[in-house]
């Protein structure tokens, strides 16, 4: 999405991305769709052993699965998840502890936590210290699981492919570390029934050859990575980014038809869409609505501000999105659960270092107050 250039620089505080492509990748091979391999022991039985707090979203809905164009619970009923995304866990680790997650689960009544781990080293991401950041993800998965929330494990690739260094918006650039990371996460947590894997946050810009990172590029990446993950965990739904900053191409030269006409031939997957309401108006909302009629869509990131997560809030436009998503049972996650100084962060600056947030709205910015109210609206999780 066209949030990348401003947000990358302002979030990371860095001017450029490292010039060398990691792990020696020189091209994005057009990998054919591979069959999902059989894997391991009786995973459904192992998952059934996982216990969530009574009445929690996971206790009610259990293992999720994509059915048609919807996300469905263990009873095969379409549901809508609503929750929050961390900021980059390498930037605001102090915001994600037992206290803040108690608030998210019990006061905000969130269904899902998106754990956003940036990829590039310049972003305090995985490539800077794979062991440290993988362990941080493990820890947050355990914390959210103990509170009965679902967890989106977000491979938060964001690099701006329009900068002098090409390729950082291309998911193929770091395919080898992505395979290593998701293998470790899938192996460790395969007994859990509350995960979703988001394998490419915001594909964007141009690859190292100067060509647009289009749907064919992302599709071939997904066809290579998803069967690899499913060797270790065959059941967890996978969220796949869409071109031009997860906009279904609407922030680039196309629209949702690029994906709709050439969907992945892999089961139990969803396509992501991101929007920022002060920038992305009716044309984007119409594109989301059309796409959701044809494909399973998950809005894995949105904000009430501009595309950089800054500026004034456009709550009326955001509400129009929320109305469409409610009507079509499109799950959503808001950016972001931190005390970053930008208006898109839920907490007032300094909240985390002061031991917060606490219950209620006293530590929240305007956007935090508004989205908390939307999340707290009673869920309708059908069970029969």
User: Catalytic site residues?
Assistant: 202, 301
Give the Cα separation of 116 and 380 in Å (integer).
27
Number of H-type helices and E-type strands within the chain: 12, 10
Give the Cα separation of 118 and 172 in Å (integer).
15
Q: Which residue has the tokens 């749907």?
A: 215
Give the Cα separation of 123 and 14 in Å (integer).
8
Q: Which of 96, 86, 248, 90 is nearest to 154 (CA)?
A: 86
Helix (H) or strand (E) holding 114: strand 112-118
Residues 93-97: contacts with CB within 8 Å, 24+ apart? 93/136, 94/352, 94/353, 95/337, 95/338, 95/339, 95/347, 95/351, 95/352, 96/140, 96/143, 96/337
φ/ψ of 300, rounded to 5, equals: -85, 0
Q: Which tokens belong to 214?
A: 């289009």
181 SS3 class: helix
Contact 84, 333 (CB under 8 A): yes
- Per DSSP, 84 falls in state E
In 10 A of CB 109, how many CB atoms?
18
Beta strand pairing status for 70-72 and 65-67? antiparallel
Contact 127, 157 (CB under 8 A): no
């Amino acid at each position: 999405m066209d949030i990348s250039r401003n947000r990358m620089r302002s979030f990371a505080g860095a001017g450029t991305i490292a010039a060398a492509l990691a792990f020696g990748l020189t091209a994005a091979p057009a990998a054919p769709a591979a069959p999902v391999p059989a894997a391991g022991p009786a995973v459904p039985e192992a998952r059934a052993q996982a216990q969530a707090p009574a009445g929690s979203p996971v206790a009610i809905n259990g293992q999720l699965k994509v059915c048609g164009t919807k996300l469905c619970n263990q009873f095969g009923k379409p549901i809508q998840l609503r929750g929050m995304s961390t900021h980059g866990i390498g930037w605001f680790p102090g915001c994600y502890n037992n206290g803040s997650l108690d608030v998210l689960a019990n006061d905000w009544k969130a269904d899902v936590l998106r754990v956003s781990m940036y990829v590039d080293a310049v972003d305090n991401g995985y490539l800077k210290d794979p062991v440290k950041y993988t362990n941080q993800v493990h820890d947050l998965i355990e914390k959210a699981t103990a509170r009965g929330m679902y967890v989106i494990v977000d491979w938060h690739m964001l690099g701006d492919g329009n900068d002098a260094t090409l390729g950082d918006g291309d998911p193929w650039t770091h395919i080898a570390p992505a395979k290593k990371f998701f293998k470790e996460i899938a192996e460790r947590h395969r007994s859990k029934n509350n995960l979703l894997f988001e394998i490419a946050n915001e594909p964007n810009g141009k690859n190292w050859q100067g060509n647009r990172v289009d749907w064919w590029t992302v599709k071939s990446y997904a066809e290579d990575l998803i069967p690899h993950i499913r060797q270790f965990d065959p059941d967890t739904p996978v969220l796949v980014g869409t071109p031009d900053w997860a906009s279904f191409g609407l922030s680039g030269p196309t629209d949702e038809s690029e994906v709709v006409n050439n969907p992945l031939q892999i089961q139990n997957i969803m396509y992501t869409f991101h929007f920022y309401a002060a920038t992305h108006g009716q044309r984007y909302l119409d594109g989301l609505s059309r796409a959701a009629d044809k494909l399973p869509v998950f809005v894995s990131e949105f904000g009430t501000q501009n595309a950089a997560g800054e500026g004034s809030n456009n709550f009326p436009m955001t509400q129009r999105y929320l109305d469409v998503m409610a009507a079509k049972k499109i799950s959503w996650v808001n950016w972001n659960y931190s005390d970053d100084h930008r208006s898109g962060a839920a907490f007032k600056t300094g909240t985390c270092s002061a031991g917060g947030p606490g219950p209620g709205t006293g530590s929240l910015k305007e956007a935090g107050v508004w989205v908390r109210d939307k999340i707290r609206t009673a869920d309708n999780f059908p069970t029969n």
